[in-house]
Structure 1
Amino acid sequence: MNKNNSEILSAVQKFGTPSYIYDGEKLVQNYKNLVNALPECVDVFYALKVNPNVSLVKLLRSNGACTEVCSITEMEIALKAGSTPEDIVYLGPCKKDYELKKAIELNIFAIVIESEIELKRVSAFAKEMDIIANVAIRINPDFSAEGSPWKMGGRPTHFGIEEQHAIENFQVYLDTPNINVRGIHVYNGTNILEAKSVYENTKYILELYETIVRKYNCKFTMVDVGGGMGVPYFQNQEELDTQEFRNLMVPLFTNFNKKYPETRIIMESGRLIIGTSGCMAVQVNNMKTNHGKIFAVTDGGTNCHSAAAGSGRVVKRNFPMENISALPTAQEHKYQVSGPLCSPDDIIGRNIQLKEINVLDILLVKLSGAYGPTSSPGLFHSHGYPAEILLYQGESYLIRSKDSTDDIINKQIMVDFKKNELILN
């Protein structure tokens, strides 16, 4: 994030905390940096699951990004943001019937098939609608992506069809009624910081594509190689080497494109595009010392940013943080930064060095553009989801209102139990 602290403080004072703040110029630049590191034959699809805010998707779409969605709501967001069905792929291991029917009706570029049962369902719906449905077969590869802390291939998983089974049975998929198999999709891992790992992963997928094409003498019009490029959140991590990435990926994709010029090459990205363009702002509500440690209690914690709190990780490491309201001359101290929850795990900064903190100070959790509110338990203690703010071209925009008490309560339904009471004589 490149915005200065005064811009961020001004936005926070205007729209409140807890809130997520996004740098629009940084977002666009991250997207363009990725596009420029790839040959023209590759289309970049933004993965809405990392951050589906419609204004952010619209900004990326206006700069050429296609969209990868994982629910009917994400699909509607993509369409509202200006995506066309031709530039949407739809993933996810649990697609409801009405979601599949909607995707078929819209004639999106590809429904990514996660199982043979799902393929049969799509076939049946397409037959009912007298439509040919475009699909891609998701394969769970034997190969496991090195350098990924969250591997999604090469092991038992609910994603896709096992590689050898898919290869042996691909003719069945090709022969399925009312189905046009555009090609394959493989996603092996996420938050990969090594260009070589992305290259090896992609090379394996392209070779798998060729294996199937040769075995069944078929023509594909799509290969989705996933992506998984990451962000260095913690100390001793280095960012993806863009030049090495370009040197490896350009010849790989270019050579493939020469052999299969009619095949659309899709590379997905979410975290790399938006991760560094966002931060979370929280306000300090209370200060206390407990068992020799200083606690800064803020209005946003695990409920707003579970990733920063280390949810799901054995080793809890701090995201970069800053006290942006501290004086430049303030001394640093070691703090525990907590959120508002009655939970011992609600710590977003552990033994972290920050400039002197006082009540009402504004703290920033950086590198927070991806998997912030979308992967956090926003209804914990009924606090609701934080606000979202976009800083772009000198303006600040509220792009999501903070949940109010009414927002939460009005979705609940209180039963009138008196109607069901038994009158005892």
Structure 2
Amino acid sequence: MNRFQRWIQARKAEDGGPVCAHLYDLDHLKTHTRAIVSSLPGRFRMYYAMKANSEPLILDTLVSVVHGFETASLGEVRKARTAGKTIPVIFGGPGKTDEEMEEAVRLGVERIHVESIQELRRVSWIAGRLGVHIPVLLRVNLKGPFPSATLHMAGRPTQFGIDEEEVPEAIRMARELEGVNLEGFHFHSLSNNLDVERHLRLLRLYMEKVAGWEKLFGVRSKVINVGGGIGIDFADPDASFDWERFLPGLSALERELPETVETIQFECGRYLTASCGGYAVEVLDLKQNHGKNYAVVRGGTHHFRLPASWQHSHPFEVVPVDRWDYPFPRKEWKDTAVTVVGQLCTPKDVLAREAAVSRLRIGDVLLFRYTGAYGWSISHHDFLSHPHPDQVYFRERSLQAEGGVQR
């Protein structure tokens, strides 16, 4: 029985109220991330994409492990600075306001990722107002082609980055504008790619594009940010992106780069934090409608929006709970398929569809795995004003006999 299962059993032994909690194993998070970061070759650096999970204890765990934080709002910049006064912070994302960029500069961000020519002009204007020079990368929306992935931010019309055809104008302007230091380029083209070889080809495409621009326009890239997009297979975690198989290709790529490139930055989120989390929800009801079986749980997509957002069925395990406080029989199903739904008044509040269960009873707890990224952080917490889930953190075996630290 693992930490999460033990917590569920202990919680039900002492309290008859329904379980609903996000659980985080901070020891696993640190060990997993440290192994990835320490394996990076040469000039590669790992920045944590805070959008995946910006809970304070997550950041506190990662601040001494990753090379920096990648932020996409002023709120995230502030959180990053609370976690680490000196850790490198980069600031990207579309739709930055003047106020956000000004305060980000005052808070010492390492670099701003510019999303458009208009934003580039505003960076120069802000630099003049503050009397500083602001390092920037130009985020480019390449034509592609790109490997298949869950989401695409480039290679098609999106709100992200500078169209590849506008890159010559953006480079010219960045070199002419006062207060702007062009240090390189930023690419974040897709999300949740599982194919190692295709991802290596993607990185090679980035490097070839940068080399071409350097030759044409006489610029030199100090930094190339290759984004994140390294994925998790939620249905079969063993089929997730194979980091060990990825490393030799990274080393070969790094050896080919000119010495003028000082760092190649990753900005991964999901791949670092997903496996540290679990979402535990108690079954409140088992019911049938039009020949389909439904398990109604305490919780739903207002706590864990990822399945609805990505339109996938999230895997779970059943944690049996013996406690039954009612004076009437306990309903159960055996060897059947069940759709897991939450408490919201919408048919889209679905966490898993037609999932096979060998035994399921009202009062048992479903434990969804790989929920440490894009779970609580992207959910519409206050829809219908249901209570928020517990947030429970596990760190070191001495903490309350693995009872966790609750926030």
Which of residues 297, 308, 311 in structure 1 aligns to 2:309?
311
Residue 328 of structure 2: aligned partner? none
CA separation in 1, counterparts of 2:204 and 2:11?
44
Cα displacement string for residues 140-177 of structure 1 (whole angstroms, at most 9, x for unaligned residues): 11113203121111111111101121134412111111
Q: Give the CA deviation at 1:379.
A: 1.7
Q: Give the CA deviation at 1:57.
A: 1.1
Q: Give the CA deviation at 1:398.
A: 4.2
Q: Give the CA deviation at 1:364.
A: 0.8
Residue 264 of structure 1: aligned partner? 263
Residue 36 of structure 2: aligned partner? 34
Which of residues 393, 412, 416 in structure 1 aligns to 2:396?
393
Change (3 A) 1:343 1:169: closer
CA separation in 1, counterparts of 2:255 and 2:30?
25
| TM-score, normalised via structure 1 length | 0.85
Cα displacement string for residues 394-413 of structure 1 (whole angstroms, at most 9, x for unaligned residues): 2354464xxxxxxxxxxxxx
Residue 94 of structure 1: aligned partner? 95
Which of residues 384, 391, 394 in structure 2 aligns to 1:381?
384
User: Which stretch shifts more, 43-52 or 239-248?
Assistant: 239-248
* 1:391 maps to amino acid: F
Residue 337 of structure 1: aligned partner? 340
CA separation in 1, counterparts of 2:255 and 2:41?
7
Cα displacement string for residues 67-99 of structure 1 (whole angstroms, at most 9, x for unaligned residues): 0001111111111111526x1111110112211
CA separation in 2, counterparts of 1:95 and 1:385?
30
Residue 53 of structure 1: aligned partner? 55
Change (3 A) 1:384 1:250: farther
Q: Give the CA deviation at 1:103.
A: 1.4
Residue 311 of structure 1 aligns to a residue whose secondary structure is helix
| TM-score, normalised via structure 2 length | 0.89
CA separation in 1, counterparts of 2:73 and 2:90?
11
Q: Give the CA deviation at 1:306.
A: 1.7
Q: Give the CA deviation at 1:42.
A: 0.9
Contact 1:53 1:399 in 2 (8 A): no
Contact 2:303 2:375 in 1 (8 A): yes
Corresponding residue pairs, total: 391
Where do 1:207-356 residues align within 5 Å?
Answer: 207-234=208-235, 238-256=239-257, 259-261=258-260, 263-308=262-307, 310-313=308-311, 317-326=312-321, 331-356=334-359
User: Which stretch shifts more, 62-71 or 109-118?
Assistant: 62-71
Cα displacement string for residues 203-250 of structure 1 (whole angstroms, at most 9, x for unaligned residues): 111122222222222233211011210101125982212232112112
CA separation in 2, counterparts of 1:127 and 1:103?
15
Q: Give the CA deviation at 1:378.
A: 1.5
Residue 325 of structure 2: aligned partner? none
Contact 2:117 2:170 in 1 (8 A): no
Contact 1:186 1:225 in 2 (8 A): yes
Which of residues 63, 66, 72 in structure 1 aligns to 2:65?
63
CA separation in 1, counterparts of 2:214 and 2:392?
47
Contact 1:231 1:240 in 2 (8 A): yes
Contact 2:4 2:23 in 1 (8 A): no
Residue 326 of structure 2: aligned partner? none
Cα displacement string for residues 269-320 of structure 1 (whole angstroms, at most 9, x for unaligned residues): 1111111211111112223233333322111111111222x3353xxx4211
Contact 1:334 1:352 in 2 (8 A): yes
Residue 418 of structure 1: aligned partner? none
Residue 409 of structure 1: aligned partner? none
Residue 420 of structure 1: aligned partner? none
How large is the RMSD of aligned CA atoms in angstroms?
Answer: 2.4
Q: Give the CA deviation at 1:134.
A: 1.4
Where do 1:137-152 residues align within 5 Å?
Answer: 137-152=138-153
Contact 1:326 1:355 in 2 (8 A): no
Where does the alignment leave 5 or more consecutive residues of structure 2 unmatched? 323-332
Where does the alignment leave 5 or more consecutive residues of structure 1 unmatched? 401-425
Q: Give the CA deviation at 1:262.
A: 5.1
* 1:266 maps to amino acid: Q
Residue 362 of structure 1: aligned partner? 365
* 1:114 maps to amino acid: E
* 2:139 maps to amino acid: R
Contact 2:174 2:181 in 1 (8 A): no
Change (3 A) 1:11 1:192: farther
Contact 1:326 1:356 in 2 (8 A): no
Residue 364 of structure 1 aligns to a residue whose secondary structure is strand
